[in-house]
Amino acid sequence: MVQTSQEIAHPLMTVEINYRVSAFGFAASTELGGSGALNIGLQDQRHALRWVHENIRAFGGDPNRVTIWGESAGAQSVALQLMAYGGDTQGLFRGAIMASGSFFGFGQHRLADAQLVYNDMTNATGCADAVDSLQCLKELPFSVINATAYGQNEGQAFGPVIDGDFFRAYPAKAFEQGRLPPVNIITGCNSDEGLTWASVFGDGIAANTTAELAAVLEVGLHMNGTLADQLLDLYPLNAPAPPYSVPLDYQWVSTMAELGLSAGAQTRRLYGLAGDKAVMAGRRKTASEWNKFGGLAYSFRFDTDPSRFPIVVTPGLGPGFAQHGAELSWQFRLPYIAPTPYPPLPNITSMRDLSYAMQATWASFAATGSPNHHGVSWVPYWPAYSNGSQNMVFNATLSDSLNLHVENDDFRRQGIAWMNDKWALLDK
């Protein structure tokens, strides 16, 4: 990324930050609230941004031209930093990039629910009977806290909560009330995200009938039967589904069985609505409404398969194609990302060119606030979303075809609109 930025005459420097996660960064309870220790993982991020603002000039950087960038949970963190303090950036950044994550789709943690998780931790560690349960937890060895936290749904039971200060409103309310800053953003995700996100439904991924899938949605998305039926009507069994580059008549169930993965007759249907609910719908809502806050939004869709057939299963992510995380090696132009399972950048000209195009547009955005000042003649102009509701599509093939283009962002219009109208209900 740094090399590419120099080649397009917009040199930048990168700063990577660490912050506390799981129980260490996002445990929440009245006890933690009373000590001012809610959302400390997000506070870590904000303190890192303050450090950058105060010190980056000493390294040759410009504190007034900082762009924050994150992928997946990192993108959600970027969204939360945009929402922080009622949309006050405190002058710490002027642009933001959210890849495969946005303000919507990842659920919201409520303090009452978080209290139950905290109580489970104190019960499991013997701190429930202490005069000061929080102090008791603080005095326990790291290994004990870490193992106990992992026991809470593998650490997934922890997340940001409304604290009245840093995090003041859930995203749907923040959008409604305009509590977001006038900065430019890039927001986007991958075509086949649902191959990864459907896993949150557990055994439901192998549903075989519409009735079974409706029951899965009722539990997994906390909706009644009427709403589940409405959603399934908008995602019919015969509609295109992830992986979108594979025909619907492909023998998906038997292929997954050979790979040791669960699948049923409704699996690809679930992929479709799961990917839209997790990231695609939120991306569209963010991009379509962002200009009302005073900034420009640039939207993208990563539509490149790092691998196809034979199917290569990516541990923790899914059976390949343009699934969640597939774009990371392209963003960093790396042959692999160690020690993670993310698929490598194939040594094919079109793939390397696609990676360069992503980096050039990202670097241009960080330097100028627009992804179009890179000077690379073969990269199409990327319009702001407010000028026609369009995405930049990053597509290349293993057969060495480069297909960078701009598309109208109108696919699955009804299903995505249904989700975007119901975030107050869906993000629980």
Contact predicate 168/86, CB 8 Å: yes
In 3D space, the residue among 97, 44, 105, 48 whose CA is nearest the CA of residue 68 turns out to be 97
What pLDDT, on a 0 to 100 scale, did the predictor assign at position 155? 67
Q: Does residue 243 have a cis bond before it (omega within 30 degrees)?
A: yes
pLDDT in tens, 203-236: 999 999 999 999 999 998 889 999 999 999 999 9
Residue 412, sorted as left (phi over 0), alpha (psi -120 to 50) or beta, turns out to be: left
pLDDT in tens, 65-116: 999 999 999 999 999 999 999 999 999 999 999 999 999 987 778 899 999 9
Residue 338 belongs to some domain of the structure: yes
| Active-site residue identified among 22, 29, 72, 100 | 72
**412/417 Cα distance (integer angstroms):** 8
**204/370 Cα distance (integer angstroms):** 42
**269/201 Cα distance (integer angstroms):** 13
Place of tokens 């609505």: 273
Radius of gyration of the chain (CA): 22
Residue 428: pLDDT band by 50, 70, 90 thresholds? low
For residue 51, the domain's CATH number is 3.40.50.1820
**216/237 Cα distance (integer angstroms):** 15
Residues written for the chain: 428
- 96 forms beta bridges with 68, 185
Q: Helix, strand or coil for residue 181?
A: coil
Type of residue numbered 359: Q
What pLDDT, on a 0 to 100 scale, did the predictor assign at position 104? 95
What pLDDT, on a 0 to 100 scale, did the predictor assign at position 340? 74
389 is annotated as an active-site residue: no
Tell me the pTM: 0.96
| Active-site residue identified among 31, 193, 289, 327 | 193
**31/192 Cα distance (integer angstroms):** 41
What pLDDT, on a 0 to 100 scale, did the predictor assign at position 24? 95
Residue 44 belongs to some domain of the structure: yes
pLDDT in tens, 348-381: 999 999 999 999 999 999 999 999 999 999 999 9
What pLDDT, on a 0 to 100 scale, did the predictor assign at position 243? 98
Residue 131 belongs to some domain of the structure: no
Q: Helix, strand or coil for residue 184?
A: strand
How far is CA 142 from its chain centroid?
A: 28
Residue 132 belongs to some domain of the structure: no
Other Cβ atoms within 10 Å of 226 Cβ, number: 9
Residue 135 belongs to some domain of the structure: no
Residue 129 belongs to some domain of the structure: no
- 270 forms beta bridges with none
Give me the helix-helix angle, 267-275 and 210-220, nearest 10°: 30
Residue 329 belongs to some domain of the structure: yes
How far lies 181's CA from each of 61, 204, 269, 350, 365, in Å?
23, 39, 37, 37, 17
Residue 51 lies in domain = 2-109+158-426
Number of domains in the chain: 1
In 3D space, the residue among 308, 340, 319 whose CA is nearest the CA of residue 198 turns out to be 319
Pairing of strands 67-71, 297-302: unpaired
pLDDT in tens, 170-203: 999 999 999 999 999 999 999 999 999 999 899 9
102 is annotated as an active-site residue: no
How far is CA 336 from its chain centroid?
A: 20
Q: What average pLDDT does this structure show over 138-154?
A: 89
Q: What is the mean pLDDT of the chain?
A: 95
Residue 136 belongs to some domain of the structure: no
How far is CA 93 from its chain centroid?
A: 20
What pLDDT, on a 0 to 100 scale, did the predictor assign at position 267? 98
How far is CA 20 from its chain centroid?
A: 18
Q: What average pLDDT does this structure show over 396-400?
A: 97
- Residues near 206 by Cβ (< 8 Å), separated by ≥ 6? 262, 263, 264, 267
pLDDT in tens, 304-346: 999 999 998 988 899 999 999 999 999 998 887 677 778 889 9
